[in-house]
Amino acid sequence: MPKWLRNAVFYEIYPQSFYDSNDDGIGDIQGIIEKLDYIKDLGCNALWLNPVFDSPFMDAGYDVRDYKNVAQRYGTNEDLIRLFEVAHEKGIKVLLDLIPGHTSDTHKWFLQSREAENNELTDRYIWTESVWEAPPQYRLMCGISPRDGNYLVNFFSSQPALNYGFHEITHPKWQKPADDTVCIATREALKDMMRFWLSRGCDGFRVDMADSLVKNDEEKISTMKIWKNIRKMMDAEYPEAALVAEWCTPTRALKCGFHADFYLDHEGNGYNTLFRFHDKETGEDKSFFSKNGLGDITLFTKEYLPNLEATKNDGFISFITCNHDTPRMSRNYSKRELELAFCTIFTLPGVPFLYYGDEIGMRFIEGLNSKEGAYSRTGTRTPMQWGGGKNLGFSDAEKEELYLPVDDSEDAPTVASQENRPDSLLNTVKTVIKIRNENEDLWADGDFEVLYAKKAKYPFVFKRGKFIIVVNPSLQEVTAPFDYSGKVVFSIGVGCVENKKILLMPQTFAIIEVD
């Protein structure tokens, strides 16, 4: 386990939207370098960069054309290596986005695989025997290559699936078992690419669709074997490098080699019920952190606690404020609701991830046309809002040249408008992260005990070593048993303790250091 993960707080950067250093309307690696001091001042000591590799950008870089080269619009390989170096000088680790399951259909591997004649990469991707064979249970692209066959895709038509084999064979003429030599060759090619960047200063990878490698693998048995093999390589060659899964099943991901696993926003799961849960029929917000007060914290705890217990010796469960695939919480939440949600995320166990701009309450921008395959996600990927000048400080390019438009609201939140206001969301986030960073009890592996979590009741109270965290997102005054004494380290709103109870006013959060 990399030691630095224990107190890591990540900042996720969508590179094309973070900071444009050369005025072409698109963010770049030099722009990230120029903003590292801002990230450090936030209290974040690690970065996750969405893909920066060469790509035709049919899916915003998740369709990789060349794993070993940086996309020209972001800079060069030398620029990325320089980012690693400058970040390390400032005590910041850098994870790259690893896309192991598919490539672009313009990748040189695929161009060779689609040739009519057999060659060494014929089986690097998954092809049926004939162009006339298209079993409906598989997502296949038909009749668009010289090769007599159809190829399986993972997502968009431009993302052919790499061949890691099948756990259960349904069509033996063209499906290979996961231990076939050609499937092992795919795994080894992935390790080669990982070594390429790890040897140049990368501190690890966030892994896209980590559970999707081997097909017909419902229990992920063969997929887990691949990651165990990769983890063995990393432990031997790069023991301080981290591997973070987009999986959302920690009892699998953390058991097969990942150091952390994202708690993703899946409908009805624990994370969703905390922050993004809506009644299917009425659309009413029933998230625990909504001020409506209609949430149920036990929908979270009954899922989270068994997962935490089962994986406490294996790795960490990661909470996100948002990510590039998820609508920003500000779409539904007020500033106070955001403060309570973010403060809780940064005081829970595990490795937290702050999505760029969430610290200032950037809005989800409605009504944008899809950009590079973003579709409904486009409004979450708009440029970072630095100040009140041209394009809110993101770029000096003309408006029509920007990757995406900036928020044109008169009250668009910016770093400049919040950095000198003690009560701003930005400074609230900075304060809580600072408290976390300075107290080992609040790190990823610190103790966690639920003190009060009742069905359809508020508040939520939990203990992290010498600290007790209390949160009441509702608009009601609430009470909970509280047989402790101590001092309030940080608070939003008002509360008091008397007669072995804690009384919390509406929309209150506090960190209490107990005697």
Residue 493 within any structural domain of the chain: yes
Report the distance separating Cα 153 and Cα 150, nearest Å: 10
Report the distance separating Cα 361 and Cα 424, nearest Å: 10
Of 446, 472, 488, which residue constitutes the final position of a domain?
446
Cβ-Cβ contacts under 8 Å for 289 (sequence gap 6 or more) = 274, 275, 295, 333, 337, 340, 341, 344, 473
**Residues 418, 380 share a domain:** yes
**Residues 455, 410 share a domain:** no
**Residues 368, 469 share a domain:** no
Q: Please tell me whether the peptide bond between 327 and the residue prior to it is cis, using omega within 30 degrees of 0.
A: no
CATH of the domain at 461: 2.60.40.1180
Distance of CA 6 to the CA centre of its chain: 17
Side-by-side strand order, sheet with 478-481: 478-481, 501-504, 495-498
Residue 45 within any structural domain of the chain: yes
Residue 469 within any structural domain of the chain: yes
Residue 95 within any structural domain of the chain: yes
Report the distance separating Cα 111 and Cα 188, nearest Å: 20
* Cα–Cα nearest to 164, from 86, 208, 227, 207: 227
**Residues 452, 442 share a domain:** no
Residue 66's beta-bridge partner residues?
54
Residue 495 within any structural domain of the chain: yes
Torsion of CA 320, 321, 325, 331, to 10 degrees: 160
* Cα–Cα nearest to 486, from 511, 458, 457: 511
* Domain of 506, in residue numbers: 448-514
Of 405, 428, 446, which residue constitutes the final position of a domain?
446
SS3 512: strand
Per-residue model confidence as pLDDT tens for the chain (515 residues): 999 999 999 999 999 999 999 999 999 999 999 999 999 999 999 999 999 999 999 999 999 999 999 999 999 999 999 999 999 999 999 999 999 999 999 999 999 999 999 999 999 999 999 999 999 999 999 998 999 999 999 999 999 999 999 999 999 999 999 999 999 999 999 999 999 999 999 999 999 999 999 999 999 999 999 999 999 999 999 999 999 999 999 999 999 999 999 999 999 999 999 999 999 899 999 999 999 999 999 999 999 999 999 999 999 999 999 999 999 999 999 999 999 999 999 999 999 999 999 999 999 999 999 999 999 999 999 999 999 899 999 999 999 999 999 999 999 999 999 999 999 999 999 999 999 999 999 999 999 999 999 999 999 999 999 999 999 999 999 999 999 999 999 999 999 999 999 999 999 999 999 99
**Residues 482, 439 share a domain:** no
How many domains, in total, are found in the chain?
2
Looking up tokens 């050369």 gives 22
Record the tokens describing residue 274, joined without a space: 């905390």
Record the tokens describing residue 463, joined without a space: 């203990």
Residue 280's beta-bridge partner residues?
none
SS3 10: strand
Record the tokens describing residue 307, joined without a space: 């997962």
242-264: burial string, b at 16+ Cβ within 10 Å, e else: bbbbbbbebebbbbbbbbbbbbb
* Cα–Cα nearest to 292, from 78, 506, 146: 506
Q: Are 508 and 493 in contact (CB under 8 A)?
A: yes
**Residues 340, 427 share a domain:** yes
Cα dihedral across residues 509, 513, 514, 515: positive or negative: negative
Residue 461's beta-bridge partner residues?
452, 470
**Residues 463, 419 share a domain:** no
Residue 172, number of CB atoms within 10 A of its CB = 9
Record the tokens describing residue 402, joined without a space: 């920007």
SS3 140: strand
